[in-house]
Amino acid sequence: MQLARRIDKVPPYLFAEIDKKKKDALARGVDIINLGIGDPDQPTPAFVVDALREHAGNPKTHRYPDYEGSPEFRQAMAQWYEKRFGVRLDPNKEAMTLIGSKEGLAHLIWAFVDPGDYTLIPDPAYPVYKTHTLLAGGTPYPMPLLPENGFLPDFGTIPEEVWRRAKIMFLNYPNNPTAAVADKEFYREAVALARKYDLLLAHDAAYAEMTFDGFVAPSVLEIPGAKDVAIEFYSFSKPFNMTGWRIAAALGNAQAVAALGIIKTNTDSGQFTAVQWAALEAFRHDPENFFGQMNRLYQGRRDVVIDGLNSLGWRLPKTKGTFYVWIPVPPGHTSASFTAELLDRAGVIVVPGTGYGEKGEGFVRIALTVPEARLREAVDRIRPFITL
């Protein structure tokens, strides 16, 4: 049989490759400390689990869900955005339920990108933006995220021709993998450029609730006029420890939401209604308090890792968002060689920066998704063979 040529453009999915290496090491009897995939180790809140049990027992939820999501879930998202960000949304036109934000981000590309169109992709970035641009026949144009710019793209370096050919600009703050954050002034510039060049600004806000040291992440939709050009993806996966539940929302520009809906109605049949009701419960049980508890946990872990690595010779600043630490590799190493050495010599799994793009070379990503004791052990395992 012969595969479609588009498959040749797509590299192996990063985390699938890491999982294979982990299994190989475990088969050799290695005690692995896995700081790879960003999957929360804490349980989903009990009130969400209890709500799923209740609603899954209702036969009315067993039928096909509404394609655009249940009215109650979309209304809850609109209410949360008004409370959290001061943003008013029409739940009927400016909100849509997703089966996780990953599928929404991917399907958005198919709704907007024709062969030959450009998308503006952060580099490094979550791989889905680039891979689905390639699958759709588009051209991903990298926006380098460099340490000297605070891991924000320098919009002034993008050629005029690229701006005019671009259909979508992807942004993601707090950022995966760099853990950088962005303020409203940055979003104002991004919105102005999207308006100037008539392109869609797609903001992946998966980590919007995961912030530290008093920083509060804004929504791009807070910027005046943003709804004319922007769509935002809000996920329950990380802030509510619900990665396996696959529930998120697309919010903002009504035309973009409707276009995304055309792809989705011809691809999937929506998220299980009982899951939507359970997620809705997350907003009814003092979410700010829950976020505060989780962020104190991750901030403690962040301090263990950054203080520990700085004691080995790194000079890492304290991150203000996500549950990642983005660290430069020691002299003489590439991202791949340092990743391999950590696994082979220390039994510690990290993610090579090159898995997120060319500008990820020279870095690895650590996920703070194991207890503090294991993080301290990981630093101790690294200590004997690090020279900076």
pLDDT at 28 (0 to 100)? 83
Work out whether the CA dihedral 170, 172, 177, 182 comes out positive or negative: positive
Q: Do 269 and 325 reside in the same domain of the chain?
A: no
Q: Count of H helices and E strands in the chain? A: 12, 12
Q: Do 35 and 52 reside in the same domain of the chain?
A: no
Q: Which residues make beta-bridge pairs with 18?
A: none
pLDDT at 13 (0 to 100)? 66
d(CA 328, CA 125): 16
d(CA 250, CA 259): 11
- CATH number for the domain including 157? 3.40.640.10
Q: Which parts of the chain sit beneath pLDDT 50?
A: none
pLDDT at 6 (0 to 100)? 85
End-of-domain residue from the set 262, 285, 308: 285
End-of-domain residue from the set 239, 262, 285: 285
Q: Do 141 and 116 reside in the same domain of the chain?
A: yes
Q: Do 312 and 252 reside in the same domain of the chain?
A: no
pLDDT at 223 (0 to 100)? 98
End-of-domain residue from the set 260, 285, 310: 285
Q: Which residues make beta-bridge pairs with 98?
A: 248
Strands 95-98 and 248-252: antiparallel
pLDDT at 30 (0 to 100)? 80
- CATH number for the domain including 33? 3.90.1150.10
Which tens digit of pLDDT belongs to each residue from 274-290?
Answer: 999 999 999 998 999 99
Q: Do 108 and 222 reside in the same domain of the chain?
A: yes
Q: Do 223 and 342 reside in the same domain of the chain?
A: no
| Strand order, beta sheet including 351-352 | 324-328, 363-367, 351-352
Burial of 64 (0-12, 13-18, 19+ CB in 10 A): exposed
In eight-state DSSP terms, residue 345 is: I
pLDDT at 246 (0 to 100)? 98
Chain position carrying tokens 């359970």:
278
pLDDT at 385 (0 to 100)? 78
**Tokens standing for residue 186:** 């940055």
Q: Do 236 and 377 reside in the same domain of the chain?
A: no
- Residue 273 belongs to domain spanning: 48-285
Q: Do 91 and 224 reside in the same domain of the chain?
A: yes
Q: Do 128 and 230 reside in the same domain of the chain?
A: yes
Q: Do 204 and 57 reside in the same domain of the chain?
A: yes
Q: Do 269 and 343 reside in the same domain of the chain?
A: no
State how many domains the chain has. 2
pLDDT at 21 (0 to 100)? 75
d(CA 186, CA 176): 17
161-191 as b/e: b if 16+ CB within 10 A: eebebbbbbbbbbbbbbbbbbbeeebbbbbb
Helix 128-135 to helix 101-112 angle (10° resolution) is 40
Q: Do 107 and 165 reside in the same domain of the chain?
A: yes
pLDDT at 261 (0 to 100)? 98
Burial of 192 (0-12, 13-18, 19+ CB in 10 A): middle
363 Rama class: left (phi>0) / alpha (psi -120 to 50) / beta: beta
d(CA 34, CA 18): 10
Amino acid at 27: A
CB 372 within 8 A of CB 304: yes
Q: Which residues make beta-bridge pairs with 130?
A: none
